[in-house]
């Protein structure tokens, strides 16, 4: 297994660089295999979504499709895959941030029945509550 940094994932998904995008595509589509997969850490996943959203202005449904594409690739291992998938669904279907949805699902997986936040947008997502004032 070989780790993949955010910039490799962004070059692959955005296809925005004449030199690096073909290299990233070759890596993900031809060099990686089920026997020797690429590893996407939770940090690289969140950074990738953030970069695509902020820098490339990719919309919510297209971002969810990018996440789903990475999750479905047989040659990729995504850290905390079930929580990433659940966060992607919440992000796609509700009004909240992917990173916030992932925080809630990782908390649930760790045994936290809820995550406390002051973030009004995060409070729209399942798994969040406001602290008692």
29 and 46 assigned to the same domain = yes
101 and 74 assigned to the same domain = no
20 and 75 assigned to the same domain = yes
Tokens standing for residue 91: 């992000």
Statement: residue 133 has pLDDT above 70? no
Tokens standing for residue 22: 């073909």
* Span 99-131, pLDDT tens digits: 999 999 999 999 999 999 999 888 888 889 999
* Span 42-78, pLDDT tens digits: 999 999 999 999 999 999 999 999 999 999 999 999 9
Name the H helices within the chain. 6-14, 20-26, 42-54, 60-72, 81-93, 98-109
Angle CA 71–75–77, to nearest 5: 55
| Domain total in the chain | 2
CA-CA distances (angstroms) from residue 75 to 3, 21, 44, 91? Answer: 12, 18, 16, 24
3 and 55 assigned to the same domain = yes
- Range(s) of the domain holding residue 54: 1-79
């Amino acid at each position: 297994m070989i780790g993949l940094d955010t910039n490799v994932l962004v070059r692959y998904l955005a296809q925005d660089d004449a030199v690096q995008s073909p290299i990233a595509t070759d890596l993900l589509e031809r060099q990686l295999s089920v026997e020797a997969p690429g590893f996407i850490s939770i940090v690289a996943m969140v950074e990738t979504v953030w970069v695509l959203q902020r820098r490339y202005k990719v919309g919510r449904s297209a971002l969810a499709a990018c996440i789903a594409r990475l999750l479905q690739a047989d040659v990729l291992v995504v850290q905390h895959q079930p929580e990433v998938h659940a966060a992607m669904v919440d992000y796609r279907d509700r009004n909240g941030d992917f990173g916030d949805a992932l925080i809630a699902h990782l908390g649930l997986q760790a045994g936290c029945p809820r995550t406390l936040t002051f973030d009004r947008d995060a409070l729209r997502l399942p798994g969040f509550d406001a602290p008692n004032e």
